[in-house]
Amino acid sequence: MTDLPVALITGASRGIGLAIARELASTHHLLLGGRNARELEKLAAGFPSASPFAVDLGSRHEVDEAAAGISTLDVLVHSAGVLRMGTVENMSDDDWRQSFEINVFAVAALTRTLLPALRTAKGQVVAINSGSGFSSGPTSAVYSGTKFALRALTDALREEERPNGVRVCSIHPGRVATDMQQELHEFEGKDYRPEAWIRPEQVATAVRMAVDASRDSMVESLSIRPSGMV
């Protein structure tokens, strides 16, 4: 058993989630969330203190079973997510269901399961939302819909858990240089220049700021936008 504060990060094997894991590794024992147990074990071996949290977030049984042994939790970072883009005319029922399943329902389920552990530690929930959680546009109805819903979830949770000492932060990055961003550019038929977009490490720095805020304060919502100067 570690004496370090514990941080569970979903989507920890790549992109923003991996950057957050690297940022928190010096001060926390990491629970690295993802689906591939073998990959997570290899990843965990490269951190000072880390364990795999291998679970299919779409399975309520797996979520409940994996979280059952967590009695105290200092930080819960929701970074896992899926991107489905297309017009309202062309997006299928499955596109809608799968997107909401991972981007919203799984967040609610895992948070609900871990609330006793978060309350014990007077911990913090950090949701990696998106600029799409503030506005939508053509081909973004599904993805933005999930991010609007995630913002509603975190706004409500923040006020519900304030009396219990649990802080809730919603971080809204614009376009971030990840493999998901590359997929989006391919969908849009545009050239992908990663240097033009926010580095995942910058989002991780924002998470660090929220996590390190003193108990007399709470980073409730933070928007990070590309500067457009690169």
Residue 176 has pLDDT above 70, yes or no: yes
Q: Could you tell me the residue ranges of all domains in the chain?
A: 6-224
pLDDT of residue 97: 96
Mean pLDDT value across residues 72-92: 94
Q: Are 181 and 197 in contact (CB under 8 A)?
A: yes
pLDDT of residue 72: 96
Q: Any idea which of 59-63, 98-102, 134-138, 155-159 has the lowest mean pLDDT?
A: 59-63
Residue 1 has pLDDT above 60, yes or no: no
33-51, pLDDT tens digit by residue? 999 999 999 999 999 999 9
Q: Are 56 and 79 in contact (CB under 8 A)?
A: no
- Which residue type does 52 have? P
pLDDT of residue 195: 77
- Which residue type does 20 have? I
Q: How confident is the model at residue 70 (pLDDT cuts 50, 70, 90)?
A: very high
- Sequential DSSP letters for the chain: --SS-EEEETTTTSHHHHHHHHHHTTTSEEEEEES-HHHHHHHHHTSSSEEEEE--TT-HHHHHHHHTT----SEEEE---------TTT--HHHHHHHHIIIIIHHHHHHHHHHHHHHHHT-EEEEE--GGGT---TT-HHHHHHHHHHHHHHHHHHHHHGGGT-EEEEEEE-SBSSHHHHHHHHHHT----GGGSB-HHHHHHHHHHHHHS-TT----EEEE---S--
List active site positions: 143
Helices 60-67/106-121 angle, 10° precision: 10
Strand order in the sheet with 29-34: 50-54, 29-34, 6-9, 75-78, 124-128, 167-173, 221-224
Averaged confidence pLDDT in the chain: 92
pTM recorded for the entire structure: 0.92
Compute the chain's Rg from CA coordinates. Answer: 17
pLDDT of residue 196: 67
Mean pLDDT value across residues 180-186: 71
Residue 2 has pLDDT above 80, yes or no: no
Alpha carbon dihedral 108, 109, 114, 115, in 10-degree steps, equals 50
CA 203 to chain centre: 11
Domain 6-224: assigned CATH number = 3.40.50.720
pLDDT of residue 177: 65
pLDDT of residue 18: 96
**Beta pairing partners, 124:** 75, 167
Higher pLDDT, 178 or 40: 40
Q: Any idea which of 38-52, 57-71, 92-106, 171-185 has the lowest mean pLDDT?
A: 171-185
Burial, 185: exposed, middle or buried (Cβ in 10 Å; 0-12, 13-18, 19+)?
A: middle
